[in-house]
Amino acid sequence: MKSINRLTLTALFLALGLVLPFLTGQIPQIGNMLLPMHFPVFLCALICGWQYGFGLGLFLPLLRSFIFGMPYLYPTAIAMAFELAAYGLIAGLIYGYLRPQNIKTLYISLVASMIGGRIIWGIVQTLLMGLGGNAFGFAAFMTSAVFNAVPGIIAQLILIPLIMMALDKTKRIPFMK
């Protein structure tokens, strides 16, 4: 029964990941800053586990690109697929194995996965841009992965713990062990 519950929640997070970018879709610069597809992947990894978070992260940007044409498949959606898969994998593994699962563990998993995911994104983006004959240097990485993403990073570090605490109060998803 647990696997059916996790699959159902993953489907819910997939739906959220497909719909949330419409809130910022009219102004791509805001979407690039608020990172709306990242939230469902983080929550899925924390609630359902790394396998589900990894799978969701890998397929969400690609599926959204095929269905809605945004983000553009090359290079954005492909690089995002690797980035979000890394988020799901790292956040789910760290949060799943560290004890106790509390606010400290949550922040450790979020920060570690944000760093790891952005490094993976930078590597993939460099490779993809190199294949296209374009340069993707350190300055472009810092601008895209760090400076432009600060509002989204802050929002994730505030909202995800608040969501996890709210879910804990429902007694359906234990958080403060």
CA–CA separation, 168 and 120 (whole Å): 31
Mean pLDDT for the stretch of residues 122-131: 85
pLDDT at residue 30, rounded to an integer? 72
- Find out whether 43 and 163 touch, Cβ atoms under 8 Å: yes
Tell me the residue range of the domain where 110 lies.
37-169
- Residue 165 covered by a domain: yes
The tokens 């805001």 sit on which residue?
30
Most confident stretch, 10-19, 66-75, 117-126, 139-148: 10-19
- Residue 20 covered by a domain: no
- Residue 13 covered by a domain: no
pTM of the model: 0.92
- Residue 30 covered by a domain: no
- Residue 131 covered by a domain: yes
- Residue 4 covered by a domain: no
Give the total number of structural domains in the chain: 1
Q: What is the pLDDT of residues 37-56, one digit of tens each?
A: 999 999 999 999 999 999 99
- Find out whether 6 and 53 touch, Cβ atoms under 8 Å: no
- Residue 174 covered by a domain: no
- Residue 28 covered by a domain: no
